[in-house]
Structure 1
Amino acid sequence: MLALLSRKWTTLSTKNLQQTSKLVTISSRSRLVGRGLSGGAETLAKERVDTVVIGAGVVGLAVARELSLRGREVLILDAASTFGSVTSSRNSEVVHAGIYYPPNSLKAKFCVRGRELLYKYCSEHEISHKKIGKLIVATGSSEIPKLDLLMHLGTQNRVSGLRMLEGFEAMRMEPELRCVKALLSTESGILDTHSFMLSLVGEAENSRAIFSYNTVVLSGFVEGEKLHLVVAETRAIESRIELVPNLVVNSAGLGAQALAKRFNGLDHRFIPSSHYARGCYFTLSGTKSPPFSQLVYPIPEEGGLGVHVTLDLNGVVKFGPDVEWIECTDDQSSFLNKFDYRVNPQRAEKFYPEIRKYYPELKDGSLEPGYLGIRPKLTGPKQPPADFVIQGEETHGVPGLVNLFGIESPGLTSSLAIAEHIANKFLR
């Protein structure tokens, strides 16, 4: 069946994605009969599959790889034209140590475990990465208690290689830096995210996983102790097919909640609210060499980790992201990823004073627009940050459904650990 399905979905395209606004939910009482776009009844072809992963971001790819390596036949669906085209390609490419998160939280556990797995994976698969270290800096005496708290959290989370530095020690390491105290994390680093994702795709495909891009999940309904999925090509929404999987992993990122609301039989009280924080990155120009040799982070701010310094493996210096809370007026917009990813050059005006708190020699006009990403958050402004949410049948009662909600930072670092957790807990 999977081979047939593979042939059926190899010529997909992204045209006419907007047609999904005309979709209707298939009710659990209509097993094979849906309502066509023209209003007439139609019979859907039905295919049985073992496992469906919805979303080919880095977490979905890691899950697909892990499940396929454990012998499951996996089908990965994504509405985009390729893997990792949304949040996974719009981040800092940082390997986090596990400092910022409450002890025993999923973020803390998965970040620490994921970091170990990620460094091992990159070494074994020759993925470019570098453990360059990170300095989290206090630029005023009022920030020192917050720095002490981060040291405490990191210690509680069993993060190795943490050391508190006096300002002069940190500035001796980084002459361009200005601070009164700093927390050194030697386990933090950077990696080539695209190469990592490409490797995950290759391993999954080598284990018989099938990727179907330009494919949208329209709806789902529970019948016969299984969650049935109605899917279609994004260019031909009227040509739909019904999938009957044993296991469904909703790893749709920004659209995970909107997708879950399309599953008839899933009580909406188990679907958390969605909040979105946009973040811009600017690159540094006009310098002969990078001003810093390692990552430099300010004290975290509401909604993010502050406008920090990131170096990529090519030596490009990036600053960001900032936090701009945005409204998504309807579930349809998040479901179709109808977000504005243009960088407003004027936002650089807010970057300069923030960066100069720890890098006072930053020159006017040296920041150029880079790129923009959006964080899929579960809490909004003035609310405490939320943990990852990974829920299965024991929570929501829908057989074979695993929902991943709010997988923001440290999602990249945690990806292999999340995959390991899902395989250990939900495979039968």
Structure 2
Amino acid sequence: MATTDVESVVIGAGVVGLGIARALAAAGHDVLVLERHDGIGQETSSRSSEVIHAGLYYPRGSLKAKLCVAGRDLLYAFAAENGVPHRRVGKLVVATDPSELDRLDALARTALDNGVSDLTRLTAAEVRALEPEIASVGALLSPSTGVIDSHALMVALEGHLSAAGGSIVLNTAVDGILAGDVFRLITTSDGQRSELSARNLVIAAGLGASRLGRMVARERYEPPQVYASRGHYFTLDGRAPFHHLVYPLPQPGFLGVHLTLDVAGQARFGPDLEWSDAPNERADYTFDDGGGARLACFEADIRRYWPDLPEGRLSPGYVGVRPKIYRRGDAVPDFAIHDTRVHGVPRLVALYGIESPGLTSSLAIGDYVAEMLAK
């Protein structure tokens, strides 16, 4: 066997890359994480809703369903054991028109198929008893939905990796990958090019995954194309009159403009969905209100379930970017986690389209990838 600089390289220090690195290090791998930015979690992971999902939405048997449900339990346990701020606040999925009740019941059946057995069907009066400001004709209560401090989670994962002997190298871009007996990676850091060799390679690079996948797979297969889709969030000024997260019924590929609470109780609404039809691995985080049009759309969506939203209470928050592997009108795909059976490259695992419920699934994804590389 050829000698290498490191046993396993993970490209990408978002929450999923860190979850994978932690799992590999726990399995005894010598692990190095390469990150092109100057800090961990600088793209998708730092601009999400920070929700721990229960597993309601995903097709039975899908990776999203399996890894979300498993990851939810792992995440709650990890957060409790490592002092990561989190709250199991619960979520209401509300129907605001009688025509939506059948969809609400269908969602409950999907959740049960996925092993989510703690949902409660509520009447409009029961919803009002829990959240007097919310208008609905019925809802599902998901008590195992929660929120987590995503930055504190990533710091804790980094700590586990370091304790196991692994490390993260920041400000390091991967410019080339050659696959042979070992992987040879050409990197650039502070303008200096260097070469690094590894036995195993994991691409968990989010928006940059397609470009890196094409480097290593060459003509063997065409990796999924990643599209950087933007989502805006507005924050609610002042104290929120809510104790639960509140979601409308989902649309294809979109959970709707929902109300979430961070671990301190601050309320925010979003995200909306701004589709991208062109490949772009560099995210644009500029908040674009469109001359007030975006705020008006948010207010209209929110007032479907919070009709008494006061005027002037919403302020621009932030923009998140999701690495989607489909475009508007396409069928919503599963997580794409490709090993040699897909791309033909031994000891390579490449991840594409790890958006929601990626945060919830991160520890389960880590275990899943570690098992792939143990074979």
* Bin of the TM-score, shorter chain as denominator length: over 0.9
Larger radius of gyration: 1
8 Å CA contact 2:209, 2:226 repeated in 1: no
CA shift, 1:393, in A, is 1.3
Cα distance between partner residues in 2 of 1:259 and 1:99: 32
Secondary structure class of the residue paired with 2:363: helix
8 Å CA contact 1:74, 1:210 repeated in 2: yes
1:241-273 residue CA offsets vs partner (Å, 9 max, x unmatched): 22221100000011111221222535243x112
Identify which of 385, 395, 400 aligns with 2:347. Answer: 400
- Which amino acid letter does the alignment assign opposite residue 111 of structure 1? C
- Which amino acid letter does the alignment assign opposite residue 349 of structure 2? V
CA shift, 1:304, in A, is 1.5
* Aligned counterpart, 2:95: 138
Counterpart check, 1:343 vs 2:293 = no
Counterpart check, 1:313 vs 2:266 = no
1:190-217 residue CA offsets vs partner (Å, 9 max, x unmatched): 1111111100001101111111100000
1:205-242 residue CA offsets vs partner (Å, 9 max, x unmatched): 1111111100000011223x333211111x30xx3222
Identify which of 384, 388, 397 aligns with 2:335. Answer: 388
Cα distance between partner residues in 2 of 1:379 and 1:360: 34
* Aligned counterpart, 1:355: 302
Cα distance between partner residues in 1 of 2:219 and 2:152: 36
1:265-284 alignment runs, 5 A limit = 265=218, 267-269=220-222, 271-284=223-236
8 Å CA contact 2:339, 2:372 repeated in 1: no
* Aligned counterpart, 1:3: none
- Which amino acid letter does the alignment assign opposite residue 174 of structure 2? V
1:246-261 alignment runs, 5 A limit = 246-261=199-214
Cα distance between partner residues in 2 of 1:204 and 1:226: 23
8 Å CA contact 1:220, 1:264 repeated in 2: no
CA shift, 1:426, in A, is 1.4
Stretch of structure 1 that moved more, 116-125 or 377-386: 377-386
CA shift, 1:427, in A, is 2.1
- Which amino acid letter does the alignment assign opposite residue 290 of structure 1? A
CA shift, 1:365, in A, is 1.7
8 Å CA contact 1:134, 1:294 repeated in 2: yes
8 Å CA contact 2:276, 2:327 repeated in 1: no
8 Å CA contact 2:119, 2:143 repeated in 1: yes
* Aligned counterpart, 1:301: 251
* Aligned counterpart, 1:414: 361
1:150-189 alignment runs, 5 A limit = 150-189=107-146
Secondary structure class of the residue paired with 2:275: strand
Secondary structure class of the residue paired with 2:255: coil
- Which amino acid letter does the alignment assign opposite residue 188 of structure 2? A
* Aligned counterpart, 1:230: 186
* Aligned counterpart, 1:192: 149
* Aligned counterpart, 1:5: none
Cα distance between partner residues in 1 of 2:188 and 2:227: 27
8 Å CA contact 1:227, 1:401 repeated in 2: no
Secondary structure class of the residue paired with 2:209: helix
CA shift, 1:78, in A, is 0.5
1:100-139 alignment runs, 5 A limit = 100-139=57-96
Secondary structure class of the residue paired with 2:229: strand
8 Å CA contact 1:227, 1:399 repeated in 2: no
- Which amino acid letter does the alignment assign opposite residue 226 of structure 1? V
Stretch of structure 1 that moved more, 382-391 or 88-97: 382-391
Identify which of 306, 315, 318 aligns with 1:371. Answer: 318
What are the ranges of 5 or more consecutive residues in structure 2 without an aligned counterpart? none
Cα distance between partner residues in 2 of 1:342 and 1:379: 22
Stretch of structure 1 that moved more, 405-414 or 390-399: 390-399
- Which amino acid letter does the alignment assign opposite residue 124 of structure 1? E
Relative to the length of structure 2, the TM-score reads: 0.96
1:89-135 residue CA offsets vs partner (Å, 9 max, x unmatched): 00000000000000010000000000010001011111111111000
- Which amino acid letter does the alignment assign opposite residue 368 of structure 2? H
CA shift, 1:187, in A, is 0.4
8 Å CA contact 1:251, 1:403 repeated in 2: yes
1:5-24 alignment runs, 5 A limit = none
> Aligned pair count?
370
- Which amino acid letter does the alignment assign opposite residue 186 of structure 1? P
- Which amino acid letter does the alignment assign opposite residue 241 of structure 1? S
CA RMSD of aligned residues (A): 1.4
8 Å CA contact 1:96, 1:189 repeated in 2: yes
What are the ranges of 5 or more consecutive residues in structure 1 without an aligned counterpart? 1-45
CA shift, 1:292, in A, is 1.0
Secondary structure class of the residue paired with 1:171: helix
Secondary structure class of the residue paired with 2:154: helix
